[in-house]
Structure 1
Amino acid sequence: MWGEIDVREDNVYHFAKGVPGFDEETEFALIPWEDTPFIYLQSTKQPELSFLLVSPFVFAPDYSFELPEADRDELEISEDVAIYSIVTIQTEVSKSTMNLLAPVVLNPSKRIGKQVVLHQSSYATRHQIWPARDTNSVKGGV
């Protein structure tokens, strides 16, 4: 997808169990999309495999969840943590979504990550990034 690029070692993360659906892919590089809030999670072994990520807080500032203790332990999280959502771009870009139910959780100091499924959550896998406009509002005058 990118051709050959140099990636700094501190931008490569180890996913011990891969990403759901891609269990064999355990090494991913974070590649910023310049001048946007988006970032790519790019497999270091499969050039055609990458995920578009965004910090969910950019579009859903009230997003919050309790990371299960088992996941905190597995990721060796004490303080430093980065949270991202996988983005699905739709043909009509304004209908693009982000997955709030299964955030990608990264430990930047240890460079390990995991996509965590929040089992007891009301969040959706397809949360609209740009909420639909109010279609009931009246335009123009009578």
Structure 2
Amino acid sequence: MWGKVEVNEGNIFRFPKGLPGFEDETEFAIISSEDTPFSYLQSVKEPGLSFLIVSPFIFAPDYSFELNDLDKEELDIDDQVTVYSIVTIHSEINKSTMNLLAPVVLNPANRVGKQIVLHQSSYETRHLIWTEDETKSVKGGV
């Protein structure tokens, strides 16, 4: 998809258990998309495997969840984490969604990551990114 891309070592994260459905993929690079809030989670091993991601707080400022002790231990988290949601782009851009039920949580200190499924949560796997009003302003700017 990208051709050959050089990635800063600090942007490569280990996912010891892979991602759900991609358990053999254990290293991903974060590749920023310039001039947008979006980035890519790109497999280091498999060039054709990448996910569009975004900080959920940009589009859902009140988004919050608690990590359980096991997840904190697996990620070796003291206090700092980075959270992303995987994005699904729809052919009609205003129907694009982000997965708030299974955030990708990264520990930037040791570059370890995990996609965590939030059990007993009211969040959805297909949370609309834009409201109708926001979509109109995006279309006008394109």
Same fold by TM-score greater than 0.5? yes
Corresponding residue for 1:139?
Answer: none
1:90-101 matches, within 5 Å, as 90-101=90-101
Residue identity opposite 2:50 in structure 1: S
The two structures have a TM-score, normalised by structure 2, of 0.92
Residue 80 of structure 1, CA deviation: 1.3
Residue identity opposite 1:33 in structure 2: S
Q: State how many pairs are aligned.
A: 133
Secondary structure of the residue that 1:57 maps to in structure 2?
Answer: helix
Corresponding residue for 2:31?
Answer: 31
Q: Compare CA radii of gyration and give the structure with the larger one.
A: 1
Runs of at least 5 residues in structure 1 that lack an aligned partner in the other structure: 134-142
Tell me which protein shows more helix as a share of its residues. 2
* In 2: Cα distance, 1:38 partner to 1:67 partner: 24
| CA deviation vs aligned residue, 1:43-76 (integer Å, no higher than 9, x gap) | 0010000000000000000000011111011000
Corresponding residue for 1:129?
Answer: 129
Residue 120 of structure 1, CA deviation: 1.0
Residue identity opposite 1:39 in structure 2: S
| CA deviation vs aligned residue, 1:68-101 (integer Å, no higher than 9, x gap) | 1110110001011000000000000111000000
Identical counterparts, % of pairs = 66
Corresponding residue for 1:137?
Answer: none
Residue 132 of structure 1, CA deviation: 3.8
Residue 108 of structure 1, CA deviation: 0.4
The two structures have a TM-score, normalised by structure 1, of 0.92
Secondary structure of the residue that 1:73 maps to in structure 2?
Answer: helix
Runs of at least 5 residues in structure 2 that lack an aligned partner in the other structure: 134-142
Give the RMSD, CA atoms, in angstroms. 0.7
